[in-house]
Amino acid sequence: MLTLQELLGRVEQELRIRNYSPKTIRAYVACLRNYFEHKKNNLEGLDVADIRSFLLTKQSMGYSPQTVNLFLNAIKFFYQEIVQTNQPMNIRFAKRSMKLPVVLNRDEIKSVIASIGNSKHRLIISLAYGAGLRVSEAVNLRVADVQLDELTIHLKNAKGGKDRITVLPEKLKDDLRNCIAGKNSSDFVFASERGGRLSERSAQKVFERALVKAGIAKPATFHSLRHSFATHLLENGTDVRYVQELLGHQNIRTTQIYTQVTNPMLKNIKSPL
């Protein structure tokens, strides 16, 4: 009978072999640790009723459907891939909430960027918006990924382990050239002052401070830059399928949520009040 730590070690090892991202590995291990602490004993024995009870407890505590599904995915991975049980797990995924993304308008984007005094920080925020980057993609960007002459960025091993090409704003060409001058192709574009890459949290703090300085009260996050990129492309008339490709969405329905944010017919309707 393996101990909790030994089981978690096996899970982590299997996830690494399958090339799951470090973020997903950490999340799965944390979810399983939480479930095992709830289960207490016979950890390798599949108890569907106990799993349902655990997930319902998480829901009652106010956990989002996405987080509940993360727990379920981790638990399913353990019993199906590690324990390799033949016992069925007839548990449906929690219905995901369909909240509209928080989008900054073009003037707000300009205000956020203009409020940043540090040139490197201003560049990372500008590039995240102008290329539709996730915070992880921005901080992990390497010099070799930036094609200045072609005005493209080659994002490698992005979310889901996929590569994709996105646009590089021509306005940022000179700033990027200056930023990467003298660096090796394998160096990070946005290095921290202590060496290595800038941390995700540091990049998020740059955005949060800029948002406050610009006087914007919307509950925006760094990811809102990516939401704004997609919305503004659709407003410009870019086909939703091209936006899907630039964002790296597997399912076009994920991209189509931005059409609700940018629907001109809705915005032109006048209230009867």
Q: Which residues are catalytic?
A: 134, 159, 223, 226, 249, 258
Contact indicator for 231, 103 with CB cutoff of 8 Å: yes
Strand order in the sheet with 164-167: 146-147, 152-155, 164-167
Look at the block and give the residue holding tokens 């996050």: 221
C-alpha–C-alpha distance, residues 143 and 11, integer Å = 34
Please give the structure tokens belonging to residue 202.
């540091």
Contact indicator for 91, 48 with CB cutoff of 8 Å: yes
Contact indicator for 188, 207 with CB cutoff of 8 Å: no
Look at the block and give the residue holding tokens 């997903």: 24
Helix (H, G, I), strand (E, B) or coil at 155: strand
Q: Which residues face 197 on adjacent strands?
A: 191
Contact indicator for 205, 187 with CB cutoff of 8 Å: no
